[in-house]
Amino acid sequence: MIALNRSLNDVRLRATSIEAPITRNRLSVCSLLSPEERQALDDAMLPAKAVGANKDLALEGDDVDCLYVVAEGWACRYIMTAAGGRQITSVLIPGDVGNLDTFMFDRLDYSLRTLSAAMVVSLPKRRARALAAVHPGIAQRFAALAMVENTILSAKAVSLGRRSATERLAHFLCELSVRLDPLSDIKTQFELPMTQEHLGDSLGLTSVHVNRTLQQLRKEGLVETRKGTIIVPDLGKLRSLSGFDERYLHVPAITGST
Amino acid sequence: MIALNRSLNDVRLRATSIEAPITRNRLSVCSLLSPEERQALDDAMLPAKAVGANKDLALEGDDVDCLYVVAEGWACRYIMTAAGGRQITSVLIPGDVGNLDTFMFDRLDYSLRTLSAAMVVSLPKRRARALAAVHPGIAQRFAALAMVENTILSAKAVSLGRRSATERLAHFLCELSVRLDPLSDIKTQFELPMTQEHLGDSLGLTSVHVNRTLQQLRKEGLVETRKGTIIVPDLGKLRSLSGFDERYLHVPAITGST
DNA sequence: CGGTTCGTTGAGGCCCATCAATCTATGTGG
DNA sequence: CCACATAGATTGATGGGCCTCAACGAACCG
Q: What is the DSSP string of B185-214?
A: TT--EEE----HHHHHHHHTS-HHHHHHHH
DSSP SS3 for B78 = strand
pLDDT at B20 over 60: no
How far, in Å, CA of A96 to CA of A145, rounded? 9
CB of A205 under 7 A from strand C? yes
Cross-chain Cβ contact B85/A163 below 8 Å: yes
- Separation in Å, CA of A9 to nearest CA in chain B: 30
pLDDT score of A187: 82
Cross-chain Cβ contact A86/B248 below 8 Å: no
- Separation in Å, CA of B5 to nearest CA in chain A: 33
- Of B39-48, B56-65, B131-140, highest mean pLDDT: B56-65
Q: What is the mean pLDDT of residues A18-43?
A: 76
Banded pLDDT at A5 (limits 50, 70, 90): very low
pLDDT score of B23: 57
Output residues with Cβ under 7 Å from nucleic strand D. Answer: A 54, 195-197, 207-208, 211-212, 214-215; B 2-3, 5-6, 164-166, 200, 204-206, 208-209, 213, 227
A119 and A51 Cβ atoms separated by less than 8 Å: yes
pLDDT at B11 over 80: no
A205 and A168 Cβ atoms separated by less than 8 Å: yes
Which bases of chain C are under 7 A from a protein CB atom? 5-11, 15-20, 26
What mean pLDDT, rounded, does chain A reach?
Answer: 88
Q: Which of A105-119, B117-131, B181-195 is the least confident region?
A: B181-195
pLDDT at B10 over 80: no
Cross-chain Cβ contact A253/B105 below 8 Å: yes
CA A116 to C1' D3 (Å) is 30
Q: What is the mean pLDDT of residues A182-199?
A: 87
Cross-chain Cβ contact A147/B203 below 8 Å: no
Write out chain A residues lying below 8 Å of B134, CB-based: 136
pLDDT at A178 over 60: yes
Could you give the strand order of the β-sheet that contains B66-72, starting from the edge strand earlier in sequence?
Answer: B49-51, B118-124, B66-72
pLDDT score of A169: 98
Write out chain B residues lying below 8 Å of A153, CB-based: 150, 153-154, 156-157
Higher-pLDDT residue of A37 and A24 is: A37
How many residues in chain A?
Answer: 258
Cross-chain Cβ contact A146/B151 below 8 Å: no
Question: What are the tens digits of pLDDT across the range A132-161?
Answer: 999 888 988 999 999 999 999 999 999 999
Cross-chain Cβ contact A87/B161 below 8 Å: yes
CA A200 to C1' D14 (Å) is 21
| Predicted structure pTM score | 0.90
pLDDT score of A252: 83
The residues near A38 (Cβ < 8 Å, ≥ 6 apart) are A28, A29, A30
Q: What is the mean pLDDT of residues B177-202?
A: 90
How far, in Å, CA of A96 to CA of A70, rounded? 6
CB of B206 under 7 A from strand C? no
Banded pLDDT at B208 (limits 50, 70, 90): very high
B interface test, pick of A142, A159, A162 with most B CB neighbours within 10 Å:
A162
CA A68 to C1' C16 (Å) is 36
Write out chain B residues lying below 8 Å of A82, CB-based: 240, 243
CB of A206 under 7 A from strand C? yes
